[in-house]
Every structure is written in C-alpha cells, then in structure tokens.
Amino acid sequence: MNAAIPFSAQLINLFASVILLLAFAMLAQRRVMALVNLFALQGLTLCLSTLVVAVTTGQTHLYWSAGLTLLLKALLLPWILHRLIRRLQVKWEVESLINIPATMLVGIALVIIAFNVTQPISELSSTISRGTLGIALASVMLAFLMMITRTKAIPQVVGFLAMENGLFLAATSATYGMPMVVELGIALDVLIGVIILGVFFFQIRDQFDSLDIRHMEKLKDN
C-alpha cells in the first residue's frame, strides 16, 4: 500500500491548484481592476506555497523568496498597476481577439498538454513539490495565452507578470527555487520593466488616445 501523502505536500498542491484557478479567472476577466486584484491574489498564494516548501524542507533561501514574492507580486506591483490605471483613467474594458468561451476551451487544452508534458519529469524529481510542475507549466501557458489574446497594453503586462509567477512556481517545484542572486536580479528586472512600461502606456495614450496596441501598426505606415 502506498504511503499517505504528507500534509505539507497536500497543502502545496492545494495552493498550486488555487494558482491555476486564478490563472483561469484572469483569462476570463473583463475588468482591468479585477484583473490586477486577481494577479495580486495569485502572488499571495505563490508566497504561501513557497513558505510551506521552505518550512517543510528547511531551505532558508526560500523564506527570502517568499518575502520577496509577497512584497513584489502581492503588494508593490499591484499598487503600481492600480495607480497607472487610475492615472490613465482606464474603466473596465478588457478586449480579446477571441471570445471568452473559446479562450477557456483553448486554456483547458493547454492544461492537458502541460500535464502530459511534465508527467515524465515529475516522476524523476525527488522534491516534495514535484506534483505541482504540471500546474506551473499550465499557468505559464495560460498567462501566455492571455498575453496574445488581449488587445490592450495593461492586460498584456499582467499576463507577462503572471507568466513569471508560473516560472517561479516551476523553479520551486523542480529544484526548490533559484539562487537568491538570480531571484533578486529577476525581481529588479521585472520592477524596472513595469516602470518603463508605465511610461510607455502614457505615450501610447497621448499619441492614440487609447491603450489598444493595434494602433501601433499605424506607425509602420508613417
């Protein structure tokens, strides 16, 4: 008879499942503010998952990773995005190139592909969080799907940030995270990137009176 799954592993799997559900919720969300709030909730869930892995395995650098995730993904970046949305006077529109039901069906297909691709890798891993590798890859693919199906700049940036969440979950699942120097470098790059994109948003809005990136095609004609 197989040994029972440890409670900590069940808790990690639960948090990973919540992250995946939030990825689907972000994929279906039409309101910009609610989309940013879902991203913040996903960051908080990722922080809790990392914290459980840290407590279970004794990997001290994961405590720093959890704190960095809480500060950056659940607090600072959502705050910056909220300020940008208010300054840009974006209401609630989130336009998609394909309708939401079709997007969700594509998302389900991507989840199936992700679990089939990662199953052999999960069996070779010896980490307590190896069962979440499929969810991590599925979250990355769903975030990428959100990026390519949205026409407005802010939802695309949120999709990019959500993809980084999935990559971080994958690193934690496979190897108990990345070295702290690497994580700090990535966090700094993401923060600077969001600030630069915020300036870019204002330039788009001033030029085209809209945040629809399809207007950028007009620059080619000029």
How far is residue 201's CA from residue 91's CA, in Å, rounded to a whole number? 15
How far is residue 45's CA from residue 16's CA, in Å, rounded to a whole number? 8
Range of the domain at 142: 7-221
Residue matched to tokens 């788009």: 204
Q: Is residue 2 part of a domain?
A: no
- The pLDDT value recorded for residue 156 is 82
How far is residue 154's CA from residue 182's CA, in Å, rounded to a whole number? 26
Report yes or no: 114 and 134 within 8 Å, Cβ to Cβ.
yes
How far is residue 220's CA from residue 43's CA, in Å, rounded to a whole number? 37
How far is residue 70's CA from residue 108's CA, in Å, rounded to a whole number? 28
- The pLDDT value recorded for residue 95 is 66
Q: Is residue 152 part of a domain?
A: yes
Q: Amino acid identity, residue 99? A: N
- The pLDDT value recorded for residue 2 is 46
Q: Is residue 37 part of a domain?
A: yes
Q: Is residue 146 part of a domain?
A: yes
Report yes or no: 159 and 150 within 8 Å, Cβ to Cβ.
yes
- The pLDDT value recorded for residue 209 is 52
Which has the closest alpha carbon to 84: 211, 215, 214? 211
Q: Is residue 84 part of a domain?
A: yes
Q: Is residue 184 part of a domain?
A: yes
Q: Is residue 151 part of a domain?
A: yes
Per-10-residue mean pLDDT, the chain, length 222: 69 92 91 90 93 86 87 89 79 70 92 90 72 88 89 81 87 70 63 64 55 50 50
Question: How many domains does the chain divide into?
Answer: 1
Model's pTM, two decimal places? 0.82
Which has the closest alpha carbon to 109: 6, 217, 24, 201? 24
Q: Is residue 1 part of a domain?
A: no
